[in-house]
Structure 1
Amino acid sequence: MIVYYRIMRHKDENKNEAIFQATIQLLNEIGFSNISMSKIAKRANVSSSTIYVYFDNKEDMLGKLYMNVKQKLSANVLAGVNDLMPVKSAFELVIRNQIDFLINHKDEFLFLEQFSNSPLIQILCLEDTAPMFQSLIDLVNRGKKEKLLKERDPLMLLMQVHAPISGLVKMHLNDEFRLDEKNIEELIEMIWDAIKA
């Protein structure tokens, strides 16, 4: 009797991360329309067949990459935030964390900006990333309950937090504006003024 064993390749987290980083870099350099699995494999120093151990196809990989980057963003933005902090202090920490992440993870930031404005986000029917940021929604609702924040939809209030940060970080990365401590403090004050009751 002859027994055949199927050799299963195990997933290596380092290769997975290398594939993700190669994809982000290429997307930022050449855009979505020019990217291919073979270009990603070459940049990540893996064979094209290796990519298919991790992902079904390019769309599967892009969707998982987006979810991976959003998870990193939420973990970093919410680092150190807890329910015992005063609402204003928690928002200050969220703002500082977000600025720090976006500046120190430029490639991921540019990828998220590009992907969020791409029709791919609808085509891929990605799972909702809102649960990753539920703590921020809870913070907004706590601020509203304590009569510290405007009685508005939490997502509208969070856009008042995110949009100016994103815009100024882009200008900072393009050397059009300097986000130093003084400017960060002023930004925090302006954001708080925009959302406070």
Structure 2
Amino acid sequence: MAKLQKSIDKRNRLIKATIQLVNNNGFHATPMSKIAKMANVSPATIYLYFKNKQDLVNQTYIEVKAKYTAYAFETYKNDMPIEAGFKLIWYRIADFKLKECENAMFLAQCDNTPMIDEASRKEGIKHLQPLLDLWARGKKEGIIKPLSDYLLYAYAINPLSFLMITQKRGDFQLDETHLEEAYQSAWGSIKVCK
């Protein structure tokens, strides 16, 4: 049992080191040797858990995406009214991005790079299924604009990454009023105007 825990700990240290180094240096300036050094393991140890750097980054992405979406949908119920469900999910995503800044920054980097392979991207999108289902229901009921899910995500969710990064840099401090204004802007950008 202790050996298994040591193995899990090493793998977790490799994931954490990958996130920190990618956030600070980018994908291409994050060699396996630096990841191993930061994780305090030998470079050969990485290959016990991952096939190569691509596999390490893809698996890190999928794990972080799963953690992000588990948090976002933890209190969401599929039968909630559209606006109430979206508001709950949106605020949970905002909370995650502000509390789990390192993980959220890693996901933002992954969303803007070709480094993540297509299979991993599709796996990541599957984790968003409750939000996609909510939007599909909202479109069917005439509450959500009949736009591509990519456009809905770009207008309603992606601005949170921008706000998180500006807060992390110290350029802007999100308070409750700003969050509510951001939510109203997000909702206003995807709801059908009546």
- The amino acid across from 1:39 in the alignment is K
Question: Distance between the aligned counterparts of 1:145 and 1:164, measured in 2?
Answer: 25
Structure 1 residues 131, 158: closer, same or farther in 2, change over 3 A?
same
Matches within 5 A, 1:137-156: 137-156=132-151
Question: Distance between the aligned counterparts of 1:118 and 1:149, measured in 2?
Answer: 29
TM-score normalized with structure 2 length: 0.87
CA RMSD of aligned residues (A): 1.8
Does 2:143 align with 1:182? Answer: no
Aligned residues: 187
Q: Deviations over 1:118-138 (max 9, x none)?
A: 2322xx343312211111111
| Equivalent pair of 1:149/1:196 in contact (CA under 8 Å) | yes
| Equivalent pair of 1:143/1:149 in contact (CA under 8 Å) | yes
Question: Distance between the aligned counterparts of 1:58 and 1:153, measured in 2?
Answer: 32
| Equivalent pair of 2:61/2:107 in contact (CA under 8 Å) | yes
Q: CA offset at residue 97 of structure 1?
A: 0.9
Which ranges of structure 2 fall in alignment gaps of 5 or more residues? Answer: none
Which ranges of structure 1 fall in alignment gaps of 5 or more residues? Answer: 1-8
Aligned twin of 2:64: 69
| Equivalent pair of 2:36/2:43 in contact (CA under 8 Å) | yes
Does 2:10 align with 1:19? Answer: no
Runs (4+) of structure 1 moved beyond 6 Å?
A: none
- The amino acid across from 2:67 in the alignment is K
Comparing both structures, which one devotes a greater share of its residues to helix? 2
Question: Distance between the aligned counterparts of 2:52 and 2:161, measured in 1?
Answer: 31
Matches within 5 A, 1:43-62: 43-62=38-57
Bigger CA drift: 36-45 or 112-121?
112-121
| Equivalent pair of 1:137/1:154 in contact (CA under 8 Å) | yes
Aligned twin of 1:126: 119
Aligned twin of 1:33: 28
Aligned twin of 1:92: 87
TM-score normalized with structure 1 length: 0.86
Aligned twin of 2:76: 81
- The amino acid across from 1:126 in the alignment is A
